[in-house]
Structure formats: C-alpha cells, structure tokens
Chains A and B, each alone.
Chain A
C-alpha cells in the first residue's frame, strides 16, 4: 500500500512536470498559429499571454471546485485526455478557424483575443485543473499542505521553463509547428494513460 501510494506520488510529480512543459510549449506554438493572421506584434503576444493566464485561473478555480467531489487520479487523467484530443484537432482546423475569425471580426485586439481563446482556452483550462487536484491527492495531513503545494508548483514551473525553451530553441527550428502540436497531444495522452493505470490496477 505504501509503495503503491509512493509510486503514485512520483507519477503525479512527473505528470506535473510534463503538463507544465506542454502548457508553456503550446503557448509558444500559439504564436506560430496566430502570427500569419494577426501579425507578429506585441499585441498578439499580449493576447496569448492573457489567454493562458485566464485559462490557468479558470482551471485553478475549476480544479478546486472539483477536488472535493472527484478526488482521484482519474479526474486529472480525464482532463488531460480531453486536452490531448483538443490539441490533436488543432493542426487540421486552425487555419479554417483563424481565417473565419479574420473574415468576420477583422484583425484588431478583439479578433486576436478571440483567436487565441479559440486556440488555447479549452486545453489550457483543462491542464490548469491539474495542480489543485494533484496537491489534494498528494496531501495526507493538514500540516503537509503547504509543503506539497510548494513542491507541485515548483515542479510544474520547472516544466514551464523547460517547455518554453525546448519548444522555442529545439522543436520549432527542427520540425514544423503542426508536428509539434501532434507530439504535445501524444505526450498528454501518455500522461493521462499513466494516471489511469493505478486506478485500473486498484480496481482489479
């Protein structure tokens, strides 16, 4: 029992790192999807960053609301899996959606915000629910709460840093942004799979 819960804790920290990496990696990729339509200026970056932060805020709130009712690895695994599915749809649909937005709303701040919302809000909100649920799964007593929360956010922030740098300096210069998106989707799906495993094993 003790080893299995320790193994689960390790998995959750690993996923926290990976989810953090994909989250920021996808934000950097977002610029490659948006620039051809809305220009490459600071306005587009502002839209991307604010959308990501909004998604995280919503994700944190949603996570804290869900955690009392569904406190299991399956909850976060499901959220990650849906995010993965969303990402997998992006390469095929992004151009259609972007030109639709440009044709109907133009290219001003509101159009750029709507475009970055369409691209980022759903998957990143889902990924945002990860941390609060992870903290509650890892915490066994009240005095541990602060330490665990610090660890989870620390690990996921290191993931953010790695995701940002890896995407910008390694992935974008070597493979296309659509291929990177598929890799991110696959990575998330693997994370979800790994988190489903202990739940399945416990039931059997």
Chain B
C-alpha cells in the first residue's frame, strides 16, 4: 500500500500537482494524453480527432466493472486503480536475446521495444509484395491507407481499453500482403518490454491486410526482457480479403507481475480462411479478446488457444465469432491448465445471424485444474437466429485422471513425471493443431518445461 501511495505522490509531484490532491488514474491518462498530443502535432487532423474522441469516451465510461457482463469474472481494479507512466525508450536488444525470443527460428522479425519500433533489430528481407512498416511510419507515408482502416473494425463504442489504445498507440506494425502473394516465412512481431517500461503502460496498435488470395503466417509475441510490472494494451485489426489465408499466432508470455489486455479483431471476406491461436502463460492479470466477423460467403475461421498459469495469475479469454454470411465453418478449441491459486476465465460467443444459413459451428473449452485452489469460470455462448445450421458447444473442467496416474506409476514412472506427462497430454491435441513447425515444437517444449519438477 505504501508503495502505491508513494508512486501516486511521485507522479503527482512530477506533474506539478498539489500532492494533497493526487490525480485519479483516469486523470493521469488525460494528463499523459495532453502531453503526447502537444508533442504529436504532426499527425493528421483525422487521427488527432479520433484519438481525442477515444480519450473522451474512456473518461466518460471509465474501466469496466464486474457488473459488466463481458467482465463478469475479471476484476480489472489492479489495472484501473494504478497510475501508469508513459514508457521510456528501451535499450537495444542483443542478437542473442532475439534468437531466443524467436525460438531459434528463421522468421522475418519486426521488433518493438516498449512500444517503439526498433528498425535496427528487425531482420529478414521481405519478399516482393509484402510491406511491413511501423505504424508511426505508415501514418507519415501511407496516411490514406491508415485513415481508411484504422479503428474501423474496433467499434466506436468499444471498451475503454481499446479506446485508451486508440488514444495512446503511436506505434505498432502495419503489414500488407499484396494480392496473390504467398509469404514463405512467417512474420514475427516481437513486442518487448525492457526495464525502461517499468511502471509504464505500453499501447501498441497493429494493422494487418491480407489481400485477395494472399497467404501468410503472422506471430505476435508479447514478452519481457527484464521488465517486471508494466501494462501492455494491444489492439490488432486484421483484414482478410476474399480467398486469403492467414494464420495468426498470439503468444503472451509477459512477466508474471505485468498486466496485459489484448484485442484482435478480424474481418473476413468471402472464402477467406483465418486461423487464430492464442498461447497465454504470462502476466499477473491478462485478458485476450479474439473477435472475427465472417462477412463473406464460405469464410472459415479456426480459433484455438492454450492458457497455462499458476501462482496468483489470472488469465481471461473472450472470443466472439459473428456468423453474418452463409456457409461459414467456425471451429474453436481452447484448453486451460490451472495450477496454484490461479484463475482462468473463458467466454466464447458465437452469434449466428439470420442470413447465416448452413453455418457449421463447433466450440469447446476444456480445463484442467492441477490444484485445489485453482479455479476456472467458463461460459460458452451460442446465439442462433438462423434455422438451417449445425452448431455445438461444450465446456469441461476436470482434474488429472487418478486411474491414469496409477497406471503410469504401476509402470515405474514416478508421481511427478506421471503428472507432467498427463498434463502435457491434456494440452497435446490443441498444440497438435498448430500448423507451423518450429513454433509447435517450441510451445510443446514450453508446456513440458513448465511442469518439470
């Protein structure tokens, strides 16, 4: 408690405010916003208006409470009641660290440190027809494209976290895959928080355009390199055009003292395929939103995920699949492994609109509790307004199979190893769905490692 009061006083003092009357966290966001706005006056007017509107909405709406149905099982007070600084520039990242963070894989890597693009660390020559730019650069060089798409998928009334992101995110990645181009190597967006991000909120915004009949794999990683307590607030807007195929992996392995709120909002045109995988093991408190709209006939989405936490971690996923067009399959499998006193939340919504006939929807969420204190709240939701559809959903919460444990022990395998193997086995089928070799093995290794000893 003393620490919080102290940091409040510190921020208040640095802002020239009477310490007897410190700002509320939202007032601090406003002050930071005004500071940034005066220094970012080169931005086009439309963007400044958009940011200003978002800031005002955030102020009037405030942070979501647990009475809000979308946040019913997640208390965001640890984020809402804390004043976060603006991040300071990070240090260069060594090649050794980059190799480790890319799991030793030869991917095109785009590096951001504390929310700022690090061109020097980014690697890989991009093939023709692929454009990867920092958002800050794209706003200067390609303002038209950004104006047409920035914040168009995130609705104006969206939650406060997205509004704060719109208000504050000055950097991130803009990726554009031209029509008919199939990218051989994955593009890895690596968001690093280093010690200069300590106590700060890092807002990043990505825009991904997979144009007609293009194909690409994108990995979005959020990691810490020596940062402890910070807040990542990320938004990624994804446009998947007709016939395009996009695989999108999000890996959240932040510091276990950090906060992470991330939203991915996709929009899928006719016959497109979007495959999303969310891997979340980090952060003290995290919320990942993965949303897509199946807007064109025959568009397909695959949404999978694995969350694995322990200690006092809280991990929350909300997915939403809007079946707007007919003949769209959506398949979803999320698995959770919860140990210690951790708390997992899953809320998967599937809306089938009246026009979305022949929808083929399948959703499951399975959870494994490894301790008596671990807890999970799972809420699969299916709302169907069309009559000719095939939709199933289900959720399970269970413990390690005692019979299987005994079976393994009776073969000489010790208790710890038996638990580790069974836990790994629980995660195996969802990991098996990862089509990207190299990443699959890396995540499998992480799961195995987590439960060693």
Q: State yes or no: do A and B come from one complex.
A: no
